[in-house]
Amino acid sequence: MGTLTLSDPPFMSVNPRPKCGSISPKTPIGNSSFYGSWCSSSSLGAVLISQSRRVSLSQRSSRLFKIFSNTTDPKDVFTDTVEEENDSLDESVGLEGDYVSEIKMALARSQARQEVIEKERDRLLEELARSESKQREYEAIIRHEKEVAMSELEAAKAMFNKKLEESLEEKFKLESKLVLAKQDAVELAVQVEKLAEIAFQQAISHIVDDARKRISLAETSAAEAAYHVEEEIRKATEGTVRSILEESHYALNKALASAEQAGHHAEKAVSAISHALDPVDDIAVVQSQNIELQNVVNDLESQLLLKGHETQKLKEDLEQALARMRASEDRAVAAEKALIDFQDLMKKQSQQQEETKLLLEKMKKDISEKRKASTKAFKIELEGIKAAVEAAKEAARLKDEAYARRCESLQRSLKASETALKIWKQRAEMAESYLEQELLLSERDEDVIYTVNGGRIDLLTDDDTQKWKLLSDGPRREIPEWMARRIRTIFPKFPPRKTDVSEALAVKFPSVHLPTADEVWSIAQEKSREGDTLIEHVIEKEIIEKKRKALERALKRKTVQWERTPEHTKLEPGTGTGREIVFQAFNWESWRRKWYLELSPKAADLSHSGITAVWFPPPTESVAPQGYMPSDLYNLNSAYGSEEELKHCIEEMHAQDLLALGDVVLNHRCAQKQSPNGVWNIFGGKLAWGPEAIVCDDPNFQGRGNPSSGDIFHAAPNIDHSQEFVRREIKEWLNWLRNDIGFDGWRLDFVRGFSGSFVKEYIEASNPAFAIGEYWDSLAYEGGNLCYNQDAHRQRIVNWINATGGTSSAFDVTTKGILHSALHNQYWRLIDPQGKPTGVMGWWPSRAVTFLENHDTGSTQGHWPFPREKLAQGYAYILTHPGTPVIFYDHFYDFRLRDIIVELIEARKRAGIHCRSSVKIYHANNDGYVAQIGDTLVMKLGHFEWNPSKENQLEGSWQKFVDKGADYQLWLRQ
């Protein structure tokens, strides 16, 4: 501190009301309080001015020196100084006690006020310190969480890349396994073909069965492996992306909350500091009053100058505090900016994740396409292998037949030889027994030697008797040369025939070996020696037969390849190729069994029977087990089986070139939650709709949508298809069923409940190969009898088809109802006044789907069953007429009509009947019905006599193809 000059103090030039900032935590407030308490009142100032003139300069200097040189608390020194000053004043001036007491009271009040200010200042400093420490903690937490989130993101990214690499490696391994399996199958097929050329039918059947098992095992293992790879990729991708998004979202929320809390604390601290500065304003007021007194208080000039310096220091400290506050605000802004940058980084990472997901989807699609292509090529090769095996089996069968015929001829010749051999053996045994008797009679005759060998005797004697002549010439006949050559090839050491006794005597103990029965058969089965004319002809015939079989196999392979080549036919909405034959593959009770597992093995049988499309039951989770009360549309684990079993069943249908039609219920949907007023109108699952998705005129479910565009189905909430979000999500669901599950088309349930224009939009969005709408309406009756004119009924169905823009066909309920009565000797009902068929078939045949029964009319419900004794006639009508016929499961497998239906399908295909074929009706009366469909088929219903060959209007030659008597008859043009 420098030398103080009491005259002309610099403090006099200071503004009486200085500007005040915030109080620095390092600024001591004892001196300022002394300054304020000293100048607290004007009366006190006046007294001091009047008395200070009487105090000597030396005393004041000593006291000032005591104040500024004392290292103890300035407040205590000031108090002692004031007391000494008061004493000196009392002693020197002789003030009265009242003035002294007032001064002491003023000093006490100023001290009390100073203590309050100090306490408040300490409290504010503690709060400011706490806020700063909390802010630093929050910043550290934010930085730590940011680092943790980034590290977790990097770890998740690394894990994701690792999973992706593992999946790709697994995919390549599976592809290599498929290639190896394919090569094994081809090698096995080659081995089977080679074995088939040299083996018999029994060995071939075992080899073929083994090959089929291996091939099916390879296909099953490949399909399972590909499915597991896709599932692992999908689960890993979805789990990783979901965990990253959840953790990032949690980290962002936590960081934002921390930043908001820190800002709140900072605002609170600033407001507290601003409130704490109010006493400084009071000090400034007191300071202005004290400035006016400085002209007369010379003894306190040095103190006031010191206080000015301290005030300046306080201002500097306040400015530093403000600077720190601004720095804190800058750090808060920086933290906020860092949060924004972190959010941008998370957005970029989410975009990268989306791109990665799209790339994965593309890879999955490519893998699926490659797998399908390899599977298709593999199946084509298997078909070729099967054709080769069948040809080999046929060659082996023909070879077996040739050997069998040859063996039969040899057996006939050998039977004759065996008969002669038996006669010779009998005579030889008789001769042997006779000679033995003679030997016993002449034991002494040493010149006779007999040797018995294997039932034959060798006579060595010089007695030319009748016995020797019998034995030597015996019953043996002259052996033909060709037989002798064959016998010599088998037994080259066969002893020559003995012609006389001298030759027999020349050999000592000779032995004659006769062939056994097995050896005789081996001789018969030996091939004849080449060189004979007959053998040459046989060899030439075998060569020609082999060439013919080779040509047949080549032609068969060409035919199979041509048949498997897809026909380039333009598919039209609602009709497919125009030659579809639909099979309803379930009934009302099918849900009681694992239906998908039972239906899968029937795919090959259905395809071989001529069926082209299979109508599946409703696949979604349903309140009713039959599936027609759906709830969560994306849950395909129903009473018929799981989603995986459904996919397997559809794949089996596709493997047999069959279309899979899904039964979709779009009119209504069962809610999964109740509203606050207890109404079931809140849907769950992925499509979590509310009452706004239900039509407002549904009386039971308090919908808030628009009025219905059709009839109300009262058992469940009716969906408002006029809502744009409903249509969008239904289209997404249909495309999911098409692309992910594998359905090729739709059977639309209860289409009377909403407008056909919505059906058009759904069909155009999902692009099915075939679509059928169930527009069920009552026919016209009068007096309990069916009316002849049903134009109004079929017009309503045609109007609905027209509302769809022709994109969907519809069930021909009109034709079903008319057939109920027409087949009971009322065949006149089958022709309308314009000479066309009645029903939708007569007006719009390409959009008419004809049927006799389904799960509602037949099965265990039996609402409108078709006359059982007329089922054969009914199928004869719909399978030979235009439109798209539907075959019911119960009729095909349970009613023993399979052979009849297959025969009618064969007739339909041979005649080339399709959904637009022409119909010309010749007879339709009580006796029967006759019509020509297309150019090559004529059919008759009823018991009257009729023959197309005798009709003048039918040109050409006609051959009867099916004759069921009074039920129906079919003719095909030659």
Helix (H) or strand (E) holding 924: strand 919-924
Q: Report residue 642 as tokens.
A: 């799981």
CB atoms within 10 A of CB 892: 23
Q: Report residue 206 as tokens.
A: 């075992």
Active site residue 697: no
How far apart CA 121 and CA 119 sit, in angstroms, is 5
Q: Report residue 100 as tokens.
A: 């002294």
User: Residues near 57 by Cβ (< 8 Å), separated by ≥ 6?
Assistant: 299
CB 933 within 8 A of CB 922: no
Long-range (24+ apart) CB contacts under 8 A made by 183-191 are: 184/214, 184/218, 185/211, 185/214, 185/215, 185/218, 185/378, 185/381, 185/382, 185/385, 186/381, 186/385, 188/214, 189/385, 189/388, 189/389
Nearest one of 395, 398, 401 to 553, comparing CA atoms: 395
Identify the active-site residue in 301, 744, 774, 967.
774
Q: Give φ, ψ of 691 to 5 degrees.
A: -60, -20
CB atoms within 10 A of CB 53: 11
User: Residues near 229 by Cβ (< 8 Å), separated by ≥ 6?
Assistant: 167, 170, 171, 174, 367
User: Residues near 745 by Cβ (< 8 Å), separated by ≥ 6?
Assistant: 576, 613, 659, 660, 661, 662, 768, 769, 770, 771, 772
Q: Give φ, ψ of 293 to 5 degrees.
A: -85, -10
Long-range (24+ apart) CB contacts under 8 A made by 189-197 are: 189/385, 189/388, 189/389, 192/385, 192/388, 192/389, 192/392, 193/388, 193/389, 193/392, 196/389, 196/392, 196/393, 196/395, 196/396, 197/392, 197/395, 197/396
Q: Which amino acid is at 327?
A: A
How far apart CA 247 and CA 229 sit, in angstroms, is 27
806: left (phi over 0), alpha (psi -120 to 50) or beta: left
CB 720 within 8 A of CB 694: yes
Identify the active-site residue in 299, 749, 832, 890.
749
Using alpha carbons, list the distances in angstroms from residue 91 to 48, 86, 346, 482: 15, 8, 83, 180
Beta bridge partners of 971: 938, 960
Burial letters 383-413, b for 16+ CB under 10 A, else e: ebbbbbbebbbebbeebeeeeeeeeeeeeee
Q: Give φ, ψ of 629 to 5 degrees.
A: -130, 70
Using alpha carbons, list the distances in angstroms from residue 367 to 109, 170, 362, 645, 749: 92, 12, 8, 21, 35
Parallel, antiparallel, or unpaired for β 968-973 and 937-942? antiparallel
Range list of H helices, 625-744: 643-655, 724-736
Burial letters 233-242, b for 16+ CB under 10 A, else e: beebbeebbe
Parallel, antiparallel, or unpaired for β 582-584 and 884-888? parallel
User: Considering all CA atoms of the chain, what is the largest pairwise distance in Å, rounded to the nearest integer?
Assistant: 205
Q: Report residue 225 as tokens.
A: 């492996």
Active site residue 518: no
User: Residues near 319 by Cβ (< 8 Å), separated by ≥ 6?
Assistant: 21
As annotated, the active-site residues are: 749, 774
